[in-house]
């Protein structure tokens, strides 16, 4: 787990926020869940590539009251058929813009902290366990800060936290790195 404050250069962060507030979000249906997202702009993609290696997938997602409120505890061990090594979350909200929130990490009652199984079990966890809190212990929580980036092993179980946002809109940039 790696935490970087002031991850993007200030100018780029402000420009990115501008883009987020002036873009029309799209919906993506992963099969068991709807996401609201926009694409990561090229200059930010390039910046991430130089820091961490090429993102195999990156987007900006949002959550707000009435949308994206389930825990969906998961790992990012298989993304679009590819196994990334690391995942990154960059928090885009300024202080006071949205409820206090962040990213929580969990221990699963059978798998422990990290996923080390096959695609069948990966999918079963998403369909059966991801919203069943009795299967998980919340073990750590990192709260959001403007322009804070966290990078973690893709096999670590995590979710946004709290699950429901009741004030404001939560914006994060997500990247899966290989
Ligand atoms: Fe994730």
CATH number of 2-177: 2.60.120.620
CA of 127 relative to ligand 1 center, distance in Å: 15
Task: Yes or no: say if 130 and 74 are a contact pair by the CB < 8 Å rule.
Answer: yes
Sign of CA dihedral 10, 56, 113, 74: positive
Task: Yes or no: say if 32 and 153 are a contact pair by the CB < 8 Å rule.
Answer: no
- pLDDT for 137 beyond 90: yes
* Burial per residue of 16-29, b for 16 or more beta-carbon CB atoms within 10 angstroms, e otherwise: bbebbeeeebeeee
**Separation of alpha carbons 33 and 55, rounded Å:** 22
**Separation of alpha carbons 144 and 29, rounded Å:** 26
Domain ranges for the chain, please list them: 2-177
Mean pLDDT estimate for the chain? 95
CA of 98 relative to ligand 1 center, distance in Å: 20
Per-residue pLDDT band at 11 (split at 50, 70, 90): very high
CA of 11 relative to ligand 1 center, distance in Å: 27
Residues with Cβ within 8 Å of 32's Cβ and at least 6 positions away in sequence, in order, are 126, 127, 130
Per-residue pLDDT band at 14 (split at 50, 70, 90): very high
CA of 156 relative to ligand 1 center, distance in Å: 9
- pLDDT for 32 beyond 80: no
């Amino acid at each position: 787990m790696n935490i970087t404050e002031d991850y993007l250069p200030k100018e780029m962060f402000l420009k990115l926020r501008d883009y987020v507030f002036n873009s029309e979000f799209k919906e993506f249906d992963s099969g068991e869940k709807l996401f609201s997202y926009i694409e990561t702009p090229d200059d930010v993609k390039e910046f991430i590539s130089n820091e961490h290696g090429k993102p195999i997938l990156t987007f900006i997602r949002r959550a707000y009251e009435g949308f994206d409120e389930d825990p969906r505890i998961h790992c990012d061990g298989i993304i679009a058929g590819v196994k990334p090594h690391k995942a990154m979350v960059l928090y885009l909200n300024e202080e006071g813009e949205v409820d206090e929130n962040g990213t929580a990490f969990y221990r699963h009652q059978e798998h422990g902290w990290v996923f080390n199984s096959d695609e069948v079990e990966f999918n079963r966890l998403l369909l059966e366990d991801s919203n069943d809190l009795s299967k998980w212990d919340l073990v750590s929580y990192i709260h959001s800060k403007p322009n804070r980036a966290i990078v973690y092993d893709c096999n670590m179980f995590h979710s946004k936290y709290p699950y429901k946002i009741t004030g404001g809109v939560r914006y994060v940039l997500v990247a899966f790195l290989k």
